[in-house]
Amino acid sequence: MTTSQIHPDDYEALANFRYAMRKFLSFSRRALKAEAQLTPEQYEALLALKAFSLKAGLTMGQLSERLQVKHHTAVSLVNRMEQLGLVRREPDQEDRRQVFVRMTPAGSRILAQVAILHRREMRLRSPEMIEALLRLRD
């Protein structure tokens, strides 16, 4: 079988992986709404800020790359999150044209609360996802 051919078992593995992801994302949407009134995009932005920002935070360009959204979409998301008190914009001390997005203490508390739920759910669902991925490696 060449790399351009797909074995019938691969379809099952692909479908199982997507199904497991959908179950996780469904859980995530419900948990974010119930526990923190966050959208999935807001949660992903908070995760990116926590995981990948230096002390200065992330620029809008870096955040849009992490979220895989257009710049203006990231700006709208940050505007809303700023209104909710989850993030703040801070100009760079050396280059005032450069603006960084930083998580506030309130954003950090909310992130910790919902990240615990997501980690627990990922631990429950990961064997199913890993099995599907391993089947696709061969």
- Tell me, yes or no, whether 86 lies in a domain: yes
How many C-beta neighbours within 10 Å does residue 10 have? Answer: 15
Each residue's pLDDT tens digit in the chain (138 positions)? 556 788 888 999 999 999 999 999 999 999 999 999 999 999 999 999 999 987 788 999 999 999 999 999 999 999 999 999 999 999 888 887 888 999 999 999 999 999 999 999 999 999 999 999 999 887
Does 41 map to a domain? yes
Does some domain include residue 3?
no
**By residue range, what is the domain housing residue 113?**
8-137
Q: In this structure, what is the dihedral angle of CA atoms 104, 31, 67, 70, given to the nearest 10 degrees?
A: -100
- Provide the number of structural domains found in the chain: 1
Residue 1 falls within a domain, yes or no? no
CATH assignment of the domain containing 88: 1.10.10.10
For residue 8, the one-letter residue type is P
Q: What is the pLDDT of residue 1?
A: 52
Rounded to whole angstroms, the Cα distance separating 49 from 58 reads 7
The set of long-range contacts for 93-96, using a CB threshold of 8 Å and a minimum separation of 24, is: none
Beta bridge partner(s), residue 54: 57
How much is the pTM?
Answer: 0.89
3-state SS assignment for residue 78: helix
The 8-class DSSP code of residue 32 comes to H
Q: Quote the pLDDT of residue 96.
A: 79
